């Protein structure tokens, strides 16, 4: 379970490890942070 960046992390980790998780809860997750100007600045 996560909110914002934590929601992004929850989704990413769960999708990469489906055998470990039965469900995912993400509240207002950040999606594609490297596709927006502030994300490009933050992650490069």
pLDDT for the residue 20 = 95
The rounded distance, in Å, linking the Cα atoms of 6 and 14 is: 12
Phi, psi of 2 (to 5 degrees): -165, 165
Contact status, residue 38 vs residue 13, Cβ threshold 8 Å: no
3-state secondary structure of 22: coil
pLDDT for the residue 40 = 80
pLDDT in tens, 1-44: 667 778 878 888 898 999 999 988 878 777 777 788 877 887 77
The rounded distance, in Å, linking the Cα atoms of 16 and 37 is: 26
Predicted structure pTM score: 0.58
pLDDT for the residue 34 = 78
pLDDT for the residue 1 = 65
Domain ranges within the chain, ordered by starting residue: 2-43
pLDDT for the residue 2 = 67
Residue with tokens 């993400």: 26
């Amino acid at each position: 379970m996560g909110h914002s960046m934590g929601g992004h992390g929850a989704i990413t980790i769960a999708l990469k490890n489906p055998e470990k998780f039965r469900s995912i809860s993400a509240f207002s997750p950040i999606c594609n942070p490297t596709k927006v100007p502030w994300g490009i600045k933050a992650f490069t």
